Amino acid sequence: LAPDVLPAIDADIAQYPGVETGGVLIGWTSIISRRMYVLATLPAPPDSKRSASLFELGVEGLTPVLTEIAAQTGGALLCLGTWHSHLGMATPSGVDWASAAALGLQETLPMTLLIRGHGEMRAISTLAAANAVAAASEAQLRKVGN
């Protein structure tokens, strides 16, 4: 994370006390070093939904903003995924894993979901989540086939 990313995330969390909040991660990926470099965040679109137990990222106006960022940087900076907060620990929920897997099955580039909890942050790889779902599905099919 770039030095100003975590303070930006924490400022957004402070702006929405008592509910989960979130946003979009912007940066670049190095396939060679197997790293993502998060350089900035975008605020949640206005149609996002916040509650004490769930943050749902909206989509209103997001595509044009992401398209403009990619155009201005010659495709060097892209959406790397999303971040959201938990009111407790940063332990990924079932919804978090399912969201990561769904995104991993749809997107060709690796992405991440960051979760900010009390004093900690966790990341879920969309690729790893999608692979776990695929492996579980294969195992289930083998089980049913026997």
Q: What pLDDT shows up at residue 12? A: 98
Q: What pLDDT shows up at residue 23? A: 98
On the CB side of 125, CA atoms within 13 Å amount to: 11
Residue pLDDT, tens place only, 18-60: 999 999 999 999 989 989 999 999 999 999 999 999 999 999 9
The answer, yes or no, to whether residue 145 has pLDDT greater than 90, is no
Q: What pLDDT shows up at residue 137? A: 66
Using alpha carbons, list the distances in angstroms from residue 40 to 4, 18, 86, 95, 113. 8, 24, 20, 25, 14
The answer, yes or no, to whether residue 136 has pLDDT greater than 90, is no
Q: Dihedral sign, CA of 96, 23, 31, 72? A: positive
- In angstroms, the CA 9 to CA 40 distance is 10
Q: Which of 97, 128, 92, 98 is nearest to 110 (CA)?
A: 128
Beta pairing class for 22-30 and 55-56: unpaired
Chain center to CA of 88: 18
Q: What pLDDT shows up at residue 108? A: 83
Higher pLDDT, 118 or 144: 118
pTM of the model: 0.89
